[in-house]
Amino acid sequence: MVSAEVQRPRIGVMGGTFDPIHHGHLVAASEVAQHFDLDEVIFVPTGQPWQKDNVTDGEHRYLMTVIATAANPRFTVSRVDIDRSGPTYTLDTLRDIRVSRPNAELFFISGADAIAQILSWKDVDKFWELAHFVAVSRPGHDLSISGLPERGVSLLEVPALAISSTDCRSRVKRGFPVWYLVPDGVVQYISKHHLYGVTE
Ligand SMILES: Nc1ncnc2c1ncn2[C@@H]1O[C@H](COP(=O)(O)OP(=O)(O)OP(=O)(O)O)[C@@H](O)[C@H]1O
Ligand SMILES: O=C(O)c1ccc[n+]([C@@H]2O[C@H](COP(=O)([O-])O)[C@@H](O)[C@H]2O)c1
């Protein structure tokens, strides 16, 4: 009797502060999904990103991420980092996602700037047994993985979008449009909730 081989689900994990989520994030996730034949990409907004200051409330960032990903049947959003108290560490993110997807092969997606900082992340030496890391190109940043285990990390060139959340926040504050930099629903959410406005 021939036993059918059960295929493990291949799941991307796109962690980010998403303050706000923009098309650079979405294109990165979509390209990695295509290249690595992923069944799903889980977007995970950070709770308390310990290497960033003055971050917008997590519920706003979570809801913008839900709005931005809603149309893609392979994109989902997880609250694991938003709901965990204390600083957000990727080790916890990956462990929590593994609990909800026990059989999955995980692919953690990050941009060139983030991967360049990875050796400063908590317990980085424990990452490689939990997920494969995919580092994508990003305008203005060299894509390099020197010093990281070769089998643990892959590089992927993606269409260059010179968009950052910092620039989106600055544009809103200065009264410039963010149409076409972020999804339409996110533009409307920012306006409705008066995010990133001039502080009185
Ligand atoms: N334009 C982009 N192209 C490719 N990857 C990106 C791009 N923007 C962000 N990323 C990657 O997405 C992940 C989450 O990024 P994050 O939410 O911090 O956005 P950001 O634009 O870098 O924000 P900020 O400007 O506030 O630092 C990181 O791994 C980052 O490298
Ligand atoms: O684990 C850490 O110590 C750590 C330090 C900095 C960033 N990260 C993760 O890297 C991802 C991108 O973070 P950021 O700050 O660039 O939005 C996000 O999932 C963070 O939780 C993780």
**DSSP codes joined into one string, 63-95:** HHHHHHHTT-TTEEE--HHHHS-SS--HHHHHH
Q: Give the global pTM.
A: 0.96
Q: How far is the CA of 165 from the centre of ligand 1 (A)?
A: 7
Could you read off the pLDDT of 72-128 as tens digits, one per residue? 999 999 999 999 999 999 999 999 999 999 999 999 999 999 999 999 999 999 999
| Cα distance between the two ends of the chain | 74
Burial 15-31 (b: 16+ CB within 10 A, else e): bbbbbbbbbbbbbbbbb
For the Cβ of 16 lying below 6 angstroms from any atom of ligand 2, the answer is yes
Of 81, 90, 165, the residue with max ligand 2 atoms within 8 A of its CB, to mutate for a pocket test, comes to 90
Domains and CATH numbers, the chain: 10-162 (3.40.50.620)
Q: In whole angstroms, give the CA distance from residue 118 to residue 143.
A: 13
